[in-house]
């Protein structure tokens, strides 16, 4: 009897095509570990950790550009496509580049060192930056960092007591303590409709990305109106993502300023009181 040797590539195609009810499943998650020897990857998803085999033909990409398998690191946010019967990963899209690990503390918890603004409205108390605008003020006022940043992951905790606020980034200081640039909105009015929007402060368009009705519901459930909340802002090239208490509100590409300072806003329309703490930034390569 003659032995028939089936090449691996042919066998691979038979396996993929032979399972008639097979599907390709796509999931979002964060990489927990990668074992290059065993060719496995473990990803933490909203449904828990999942370990999958990685195909030798896997396609890895970062923002649409081809990348190597060894670029996968712990902590990266990824989108995986895998064969549900064989549980083999066919495609991996890296959704955020790895931070350099150099975390910069923007607020020391004691002083406004490294910041510029009108101290009539901005104070430091009990380890927090407190902004208070007791009356309407044309154009509002900002507290801005003295340092500029281009690609980064910015993390901050905020507590909004009254009015409307936001976090500026890739921005420039203007006259009267005004600013121009990107803003991650902080607002509770209109059932959190504007919370987590990406807007342009004194730039066009005024609204760059807004939340869906479903996202507004998620944010409303996640926000602690009487306590501290987490904001994570990622700016990497022309891609921006915003997360509020773990809820992703924005993931968009936009052609605008590539660098600038960070700013904290007291909106000028109404009396406002807001507090910030634990403000850090990690530069992206």
CATH number of the CATH domain containing 117: 2.60.120.560
- The distance between the two most distant Cα atoms of the chain, rounded to a whole number of Å, is 94
Spatial distance between the Cα atoms of 27 and 35, rounded to a whole number of angstroms: 19
State residue 10's pLDDT score.
Answer: 43
Query: Which helix (H) or strand (E) element contains residue 15?
Result: helix 8-18
Spatial distance between the Cα atoms of 163 and 133, rounded to a whole number of angstroms: 9
Pairing of strands 48-62, 88-94: parallel
pLDDT per residue as tens, the chain (285 positions): 455 444 444 444 544 444 445 688 999 888 888 887 788 999 888 778 889 999 888 888 876 678 777 777 777 788 889 988 888 999 998 875 555 557 899 999 999 999 999 999 999 999 999 999 988 777 789 999 999 999 999 999 999 999 999 999 999 999 888 899 999 999 998 888 889 999 999 988 889 999 999 999 999 999 999 999 999 999 999 999 999 999 999 999 999 999 999 999 998 878 899 999 999 999 987
- Domain for residue 1, yes or no? no
Q: Which of 253, 233, 263, 282 lies closest to 114 in space, CA to CA?
A: 263
Q: Where does a domain end: 52, 68, 94? A: 94
CA atoms within 13 Å, Cβ hemisphere of 190: 9
pTM higher than 0.75, yes or no? no
121 & 66 share domain: no
113 & 77 share domain: no
Spatial distance between the Cα atoms of 283 and 51, rounded to a whole number of angstroms: 30
The domain spanning residue 51 has which CATH number? 2.40.50.320
Compute φ and ψ for 262, nearest 5 degrees: -95, 145
Residue 169's domain comprises 103-283
State residue 101's pLDDT score.
Answer: 58
State residue 72's pLDDT score.
Answer: 79
Spatial distance between the Cα atoms of 248 and 245, rounded to a whole number of angstroms: 8
Number of domains the chain contains: 2
Q: Where does a domain end: 50, 68, 94? A: 94
Q: Are 192 and 223 in contact (CB under 8 A)?
A: yes
Is 127 in a helix, a strand, or coil?
coil
Q: Where does a domain end: 94, 128, 148? A: 94
Q: What sign for the dihedral angle of Cα 31, 35, 39, 40?
A: negative
Q: Are 99 and 282 in contact (CB under 8 A)?
A: yes
Spatial distance between the Cα atoms of 51 and 149, rounded to a whole number of angstroms: 36
DSSP 142: E
Q: Are 133 and 163 in contact (CB under 8 A)?
A: yes
State residue 8's pLDDT score.
Answer: 45
């Amino acid at each position: 009897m003659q032995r028939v040797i089936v090449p691996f590539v042919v066998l691979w195609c038979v396996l993929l095509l032979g399972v008639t009810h097979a599907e390709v499943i796509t999931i979002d998650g964060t990489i927990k570990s990668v074992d290059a020897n065993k060719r496995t990857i473990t990803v933490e998803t909203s449904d828990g950790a999942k370990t999958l085999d990685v195909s030798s033909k896997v396609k890895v990409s970062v923002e649409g550009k081809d990348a190597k398998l060894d670029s996968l690191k712990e902590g990266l946010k990824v989108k995986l496509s895998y064969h549900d019967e064989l549980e083999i990963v066919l495609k991996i899209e890296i959704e955020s580049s790895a931070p350099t690990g150099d975390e910069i503390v923007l607020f020391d918890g004691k002083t406004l060192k490294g910041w510029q603004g009108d101290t009539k409205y901005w104070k430091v108390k009990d380890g927090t930056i407190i902004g208070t605008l007791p009356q309407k003020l044309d154009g509002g006022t900002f507290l801005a960092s003295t340092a500029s940043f281009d690609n980064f992951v910015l993390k901050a905790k905020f507590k909004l007591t009254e009015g409307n606020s936001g976090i500026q980034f890739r921005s420039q200081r203007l006259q009267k303590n005004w600013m121009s640039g990107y803003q991650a909105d902080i607002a509770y009015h209109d059932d959190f409709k504007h919370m987590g929007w990406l807007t342009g402060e004194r730039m066009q368009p005024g609204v760059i990305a807004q939340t869906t009705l479903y996202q507004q519901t998620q944010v409303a459930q996640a926000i602690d109106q009487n306590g501290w909340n987490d904001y994570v802002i990622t700016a990497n090239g022309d891609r921006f993502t915003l997360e509020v208490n773990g809820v992703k509100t924005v993931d968009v590409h936009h052609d605008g300023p590539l660098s600038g300072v960070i700013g904290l806003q007291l909106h000028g329309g109404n009396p406002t009181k807001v507090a910030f703490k634990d403000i850090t930034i990690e530069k992206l390569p």
